[in-house]
Structure 1
Amino acid sequence: MLKLDSLSAAAPSFDAPLEMLNACHDKVRHFCVQLDALPDYIQLHGHSQAVVNSIAGIVRYFEVAGPAHHQDEEDELFPLIMARQPDAAPKIEQLLGEHGYLHARWNAIRDDLNAYAAGTLGALNASEIHEFTRLYREHAAREEAWLFPTAASLISDAELHAAGQRMAARRTTPR
Structure 2
Amino acid sequence: MAVPLQLHTPPSAGFDEPFGMLHACHGRVERTLELLLRLGTHLAEYGCDAQARDAAADVQRYFDVAAPLHHGDEELHVFPVLRAAGKTALADTLHAEHEQMEQLWADIRADLQAVQARQMPDDRALTDARQRWADFSALYTSHIRMEEAQAYPEAQARLGLAERAAMGCDMAQRRGARYPDAVMPKGAGGR
Q: How does the TM-score come out when normalised to structure 1?
A: 0.88
Contact 2:48 2:119 in 1 (8 A): no
Q: C-alpha distance in 2, partners of 1:120/1:30?
A: 25
* C-alpha distance after superposition, 1:123-145 (max 9, x if no partner): 53111111101111110111000
Q: Which moved more, 1:20-29 or 1:118-127?
A: 118-127
Q: Is 1:130 aligned to residue 134 of structure 2?
A: yes
Q: C-alpha distance in 1, partners of 2:79/2:98?
A: 13
Q: C-alpha distance in 2, partners of 1:82/1:98?
A: 16
Contact 1:78 1:92 in 2 (8 A): yes
Match of 2:104 in 1: 105
Percent identity over paired residues: 34
Unaligned runs of 5+ in 1: 1-8
Contact 2:48 2:120 in 1 (8 A): no
Q: Which structure ranks higher in relative contact order (CA pairs < 8 Å, sequence separation ≥ 6)?
A: 1
Match of 2:164 in 1: 160
Compute the displacement of 1:10 (Å): 5.8
Match of 1:94 in 2: 93
Match of 2:181 in 1: none
The correspondence of residues 1-175 of structure 1 with structure 2, limited to 5 A, is: 11-83=12-84, 85=85, 87-123=86-122, 124=126, 125-172=129-176
SS in 1 for 2:92: helix
Compute the displacement of 1:81 (Å): 3.0
Contact 1:36 1:126 in 2 (8 A): yes
Q: Which has the higher helix share?
A: 1
SS in 1 for 2:87: helix
Aligned residue pair count? 163
Q: Which moved more, 1:11-20 or 1:116-125?
A: 116-125
SS in 2 for 1:103: helix
Higher Cα Rg, which structure: 2
Q: C-alpha distance in 1, partners of 2:76/2:104?
A: 22
Contact 2:82 2:90 in 1 (8 A): no
1:82 aligned partner, one-letter code: R
Contact 2:53 2:118 in 1 (8 A): no
Q: C-alpha distance in 1, partners of 2:81/2:47?
A: 49
Compute the displacement of 1:76 (Å): 1.4
Contact 2:52 2:115 in 1 (8 A): no
Contact 2:53 2:116 in 1 (8 A): yes
Contact 1:112 1:121 in 2 (8 A): no
Q: C-alpha distance in 1, partners of 2:147/2:82?
A: 13
Note closer, same or farther for the CA distance 1:42–1:10 as it changes in structure 2 (3 Å cut).
closer
SS in 2 for 1:172: coil
